[in-house]
Amino acid sequence: MVVIKISMFWAAFLFVIFSSHSNGLPSNKAVPLLSYNEITKKFELNSAGVALISSLAKPIQVTSAVGDARVGKSTSLNMVHHLWNETKDNNFKEIFETGSTFVPVTRGVWISVIHGKERMERVLLDVEGTDLGNDAVTDHLSIFTALMSSGMTFFMKDAVKTHAIDFLYRVSRLSEHIFKDEAIKYFPRLRVVLRGALDTPDGIRMDEYVKDALISPTWKDGSDDKRKAIGKHFPRDHIEVSTIEALQNRKIFKNFDLLSKNAEYMLSIHQLANDLNKFHIKKTLSGGMMDGATLAELAIKLTETMNSGKWLDFGNVYLMVEKHLCDRRYKEIVQPQIGGNSTLIKRFLEVGFLKYEQECALKDYVNATKSELKRIANMKEELEEKQRKLEKETKKRIEEEQKRIKAQENFEQEKEKMEKEVDEAKKNSENIQQEANKWGEKYRAMNAEIERLNNEVKRAYKELEDMQDDGGFFGFLSSVVDTVIKIVLEPVRPLLGNNN
């Protein structure tokens, strides 16, 4: 388990974030990242250093400085930091602590960050000398630093010495056990920095001489087998060489105005800053671009592995970091697309998926993700087709139901209209019948009255007949009466039917 001082974690995190971004300037001082506890015999990560790494956005360039103590690692990093940060010369600040005596200053691994220069985050790592006491501890610290780096500067004084070859051999042998047949394409590049380099034999350039000293198995000095091993992980085209002037008066580094007047030294430092600027961004061994969260996870897992003493687990650490990196990129890039329809997902597979392929270096993960996306797209397409058919059928049924309802409404309206008309006809018929009944009653009354009158006439006629003789006057009168009756009855005869 990595020892991190949790009680101070958030305070350190906020301090780092505030100091890193206020006024757009980086923190004035480097912070510790990794140290060795002599009491617990464990490596401990510092919460402030981890928080600083976690806050970084990709891409990240990680430049480390390893080598013996008192060879100018911290001093050179301070100068590079000053030049990279484009700080005014009269505002030079010591980022990594240095000293002017033979007593080493740097212990453990220290970290400083330059934010946002040239569209990337720049991390500088300074590690204690490889020649300080316990080789196992210093080797662990330096190997941790190397594996965290995208570019490693190996500081040497005067020339390549045997213990430098021994250190690079141990790194190479460990890497061989860890990564076995893994490609070295994204293994940290190596830049050897010679302070006060001695002259090389005539006709041999300094860089070629240094490369030969490190990886050419032709010296017959007992280290040729080691050089072969070094060459596997640091091939010739992965090694570069820089030189810086050696200044005997180390106190001059505390006076930048005086130091800046040393033209040869400043020229060599400017060249070194330009050379280190060429280091690649930090990637996994498979080529995935690391962000701050991934780099912090790598630091934690590497420390856990060192504390467990299981060096071979380093390979699993890298694989796990690779997987976690792919998982995070999946959540950022792929997962938001799954909620879209089949057309959007297929469009993403054609265009947007390339970004995930670039971010995740595990081909098995990429291929599995692409296959799963295709399967999801096909399932969604099938579901969408069924949905379209369902919607079409539903629409058809709704239209038919609406037509049925409309027809029913029309029928009801017609029925109601017809019922009203029937009611009105019935009422009219009843009214006509009532009128007919009234006329019938009138006819019967008139008929009765006529009959009564007729009877009266007949009676009167008979009385007259009895009183008179059978003269023509009464016959004429009877004819007149019949005619009058016909005239009276003629208008109402149709209403009376066949009644007489």
Could you report the per-residue pLDDT of 209-218, keeping only the tens digit for each?
Answer: 999 999 998 8
pLDDT of residue 480: 66
pLDDT of residue 295: 92
Higher pLDDT, 281 or 7: 281
Distance between CA atoms of residues 406 and 340, nearest Å: 39
pLDDT of residue 383: 92
CA 122, 356, 296: angle at the middle one, nearest 5? 35
Predicted confidence (pLDDT) at residue 240 exceeds the cutoff of 70: yes
CA 448 to chain centre: 111
Higher pLDDT, 251 or 209: 209
DSSP string, 313-343: HHHHHHHHHHHHHHHHHIIIIIHHHHTS-HH
The candidate with the shortest Cα–Cα distance to 52, out of 16, 15, 25, 3, is 16
Please give the share of the chain, as a percent, with pLDDT higher than 90. Answer: 23
pLDDT of residue 271: 92
**Host H or E run for residue 297:** helix 292-308
Predicted confidence (pLDDT) at residue 487 exceeds the cutoff of 80: no
Mean pLDDT of 119-137: 78
Predicted confidence (pLDDT) at residue 208 exceeds the cutoff of 70: yes
**Mean pLDDT in the chain?**
80
Mean pLDDT of 225-247: 87
Mean pLDDT of 344-355: 91
**Host H or E run for residue 354:** helix 353-359
pLDDT of residue 469: 54
**Helices H, strands E: what count in the chain?**
17, 8
Mean pLDDT of 233-260: 79
pLDDT of residue 365: 87
Residues 269-300 as b or e (16 or more Cβ within 10 Å = b): beebbebbbebebbbbbbebbbbbbbbbbbbb
Mean pLDDT of 393-422: 89
Query: What does the pLDDT look like over 287-333, one tens digit per residue?
Result: 788 899 999 998 998 899 888 877 555 556 667 777 888 888 899 89
pLDDT of residue 460: 73
pLDDT of residue 4: 46
Mean pLDDT of 419-447: 83
Domain ranges of the chain: 31-308, 309-422
209 in Cβ contact with 202 (< 8 Å): no
pLDDT of residue 17: 41
User: What's the CATH superfamily of 31-308?
Assistant: P-loop containing nucleotide triphosphate hydrolases (3.40.50.300)
Mean pLDDT of 99-117: 72
Confidence band for 67, pLDDT divided at 50, 70 and 90: confident
- DSSP H helical segments within 89-157, as ranges? 135-148
Residue 307's alpha-carbon distances to 3, 45, 295, in angstroms, are: 10, 11, 18
Higher pLDDT, 479 or 97: 97
pLDDT of residue 18: 40
Mean pLDDT of 269-281: 90
pLDDT of residue 13: 41
Predicted confidence (pLDDT) at residue 410 exceeds the cutoff of 60: yes
pLDDT of residue 5: 41
pLDDT of residue 187: 74
Query: What does the pLDDT look like over 443-482, one tens digit per residue?
Result: 788 777 777 777 777 777 677 666 655 555 556 666 666 7
